[in-house]
Every structure is written in C-alpha cells, then in structure tokens.
C-alpha cells in the first residue's frame, strides 16, 4: 500500500483567519451593489424628467388629444392656434384654435399649479371637470409637501415675446426649469448640500411662432 505524502488542506486556524477577509469582501460587494442600484434609480428619474419636459413642450406645440373631449375635432396646439393668452402671473397659458363653426369657445389651458406641476384642461363640446396632469407623466410622489418632480420657475413658464401691430401674439416662449428630487433632505443637511446631493435640475426652452394668429 502506498501512502500519500504531503497532503495539503486548510486548517481550522487558517479558515478562521480568512473569515474577516471574506466578510470585508462581501461587505464591499454589497456596498458596490447598493451604489449601483442608487445610481441607476437616480439616472432613471433624471431621464424621466428630461422626457417629461420635452413631451410637455411637444404637447403645447401640437395639441392634446383625448378620445372623449376632442375626438373628431382639431387639436389645439400653438402651431395651429388662432390666438393665445398668458395670465398676469404667467402660470396659465390659454390656447385658442382656429374658429370652429360648432363652438367658437373651444380652448385649452396649461397651468403650472400650486404643486409646481403642469396640468391641462380642455374646453370642447365637453369640458373637463378637473384638470389632467401632464407633468410629471407618473403618479405624483411627495417628500412632505414637496413634489418629487416640479417646475422651479412657476411664474415665468409662458411668455409672449412678440406681437403684431394690432396686438396679436406672434411668438411665445416656453421656459421650463424642471427639478427631480431623489430623496428627502436629511436632518442637519444644508440647503446647498441638499440640492447638490438629492436633486437634479434641467432647463428646456423654445420659442414657437404662431402662424395663424388673428383677431
């Protein structure tokens, strides 16, 4: 019978000595995974902010369609608008379509509401009882009284920048400063640190020519 010599294995002492290293490596992996998930979620929310702001501008530009309120009717968008008006506080944009024989009072209102979100209300053959939220595109989330997605420049969102000799609006500027909040402000955290660590901001701006603007 041959004896196997020089067998190698792991002693109990070596195994115990390796446990702390394994715990450290496991902890590093957990922390790396948590960091990845957090960055992914924040990136996803920031991308939504960009897409939502873009979609608001495109909706205002081309109009909003609803199968109940304006089915079969022309959309009320800036590029086909008869006229527009902006409220004195610049929070409400009212868009009027080209004259419609059935109802010359057709219009829609875009409003930056008290929660700093954007709603639309249609006035067609049927009038919306409650405004419909178009920003954000998802169900609103709040951190206390503060919305996760919000418009920072509540009173400068809509501005008529050019009129003709008769006072009809010719050009409208849309300026939206949007912010997404990832988490609530931590106790003891300064305002500057809160904004830097817990939020992201982006600005979308465009000027739209009102080609059909008339009295």
Q: pLDDT tens digits for 186-210? A: 999 999 999 999 999 999 999 998 8
Counting Cα atoms < 13 Å in the Cβ hemisphere of 215 gives 3
Lowest mean pLDDT of 16-25, 34-43, 141-150, 156-165, name the range. 16-25
Displacement of CA 68 from its chain's centroid (Å): 25
**Beta carbons within 8 Å of 23's beta carbon, 6+ residues apart:** none
Measured CA to CA, the distance from residue 85 to residue 64 in angstroms comes to 17
Model-level pTM?
Answer: 0.81
Displacement of CA 215 from its chain's centroid (Å): 34
Residue bearing tokens 């070596």: 14
Does residue 215 have a pLDDT over 50?
Answer: no
**Beta carbons within 8 Å of 182's beta carbon, 6+ residues apart:** 41, 42, 45, 198, 199, 200
Name the average pLDDT for the chain: 85
In this prediction, residue 25 carries a pLDDT of: 72
Q: What is the pLDDT of residues 145-188, one digit of tens each?
A: 899 999 999 999 999 999 888 888 889 999 999 999 999 999 99
In this prediction, residue 182 carries a pLDDT of: 95
Nearest to 95 by CA among 112, 108, 79, 80: 108
């Amino acid at each position: 019978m041959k004896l196997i010599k020089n067998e190698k294995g792991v002693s109990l002492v070596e195994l115990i000595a390796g446990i702390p290293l394994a715990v450290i490596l496991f902890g590093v992996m957990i922390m790396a995974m948590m960091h990845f998930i957090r960055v992914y979620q924040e990136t996803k929310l920031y991308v939504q902010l960009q897409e939502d702001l873009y979609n608001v501008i495109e909706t205002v530009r081309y109009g909003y369609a609803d199968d109940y309120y304006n089915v079969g009717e022309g959309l009320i968008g800036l590029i086909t608008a008869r006229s527009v008006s902006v409220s004195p506080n610049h929070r409400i944009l009212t868009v009027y379509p080209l004259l419609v024989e059935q109802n010359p009072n057709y219009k829609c209102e875009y409003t930056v509401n008290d929660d700093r979100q954007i709603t639309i209300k249609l006035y067609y053959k049927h009038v919306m009882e409650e405004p419909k939220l178009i920003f954000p595109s998802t169900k609103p989330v709040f951190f206390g009284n503060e919305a996760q997605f919000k418009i920072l420049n509540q009173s400068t969102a809509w501005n008529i920048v050019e009129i003709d000799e008769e006072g009809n609006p010719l050009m409208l500027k849309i300026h939206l400063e949007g912010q997404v909040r990832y988490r609530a402000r931590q106790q003891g955290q300064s305002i500057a640190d809160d904004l830097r660590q817990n939020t992201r901001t982006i600005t979308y701006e465009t000027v739209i020519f009102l080609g059909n603007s008339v009295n």
